[in-house]
Amino acid sequence: QSPDKLYGELFQAVQLNRIFPDSKTFCDAIPRDLTPNAIRDLYREENPQPTFNLTSFVLNHFILPNTTTIVHDKWTIEQHCHNLWPLLTRTTKHVTFSSFIDVPHPFVVPGGRFGEFYYWDTYFTMLGLLRSNQNDLINNMLENFAFLIRNMTFIPNGNRYYYEGRSQPPYFSLMTELTKQTDKYKD
Ligand SMILES: OC[C@H]1O[C@H](O[C@H]2O[C@H](CO)[C@@H](O)[C@H](O)[C@H]2O)[C@H](O)[C@@H](O)[C@@H]1O
């Protein structure tokens, strides 16, 4: 479920008080020790107290997403892309109350603050993967999108529940064309 629905007034307080510089941080956080309902109840109980500190409350009860950036001056652009594929390739292991939409196969994420895949980014990622002979990964990502069409009737903006109300430019058919160039789909 989307974090605004899970956390209600706590979500609003965190975002409106700009507890994190990036408004995406809390959306991608997962509860550390309690269920969302229990965290909400605790927030309602503790919030009116004069000593209540919202930042401490959030840090105590949530695990924040990891956002790592890799810069390597000595790599050529080809080496950079090639070496980054493994670091940007992820899977969704089901985590209760995470905002991730689980998909069955590995996928490539943009990186940095974006730890989920994006619909139209994936097409351009596939062009790069084709140059790196990562055909299995291309086919896996196409299968993920087919899975989303089957289960959600469309491909959302990215695989997060807070993206389930919108999509991106429709690249699925171009992706299927592209996979004709990979071994699995060659005639
Ligand atoms: O936080 C800014 C925006 O971030 C996302 O969109 C941008 O990054 C995406 C991933 O690379 C890319 O697909 C999209 O074209 C970019 O605009 C997010 O999807 C937006 O909702 C958000 O405003």
pLDDT tens column, 141-150: 999 999 999 9
State in Å: Cα 117 to ligand 1 middle.
11
Distance 138 CA to ligand 1 centre (A): 21
Segment 60-84, tens digit of pLDDT: 999 999 877 777 778 888 888 888 8
CA 143 to centroid of ligand 1, rounded, Å: 23
Closest C-alpha residue for ligand 1 atom 2:
24
**Taking the CB of residue 63, how many other CB atoms lie within 10 A of it?**
14
Is any ligand 1 atom within 6 A of the Cβ of residue 162? Answer: no
Nearest ligand 1 atom to the CA of 110 is: 11
> Percentage of residues in the chain with pLDDT exceeding 70?
97
CB 130 within 8 A of CB 181: yes
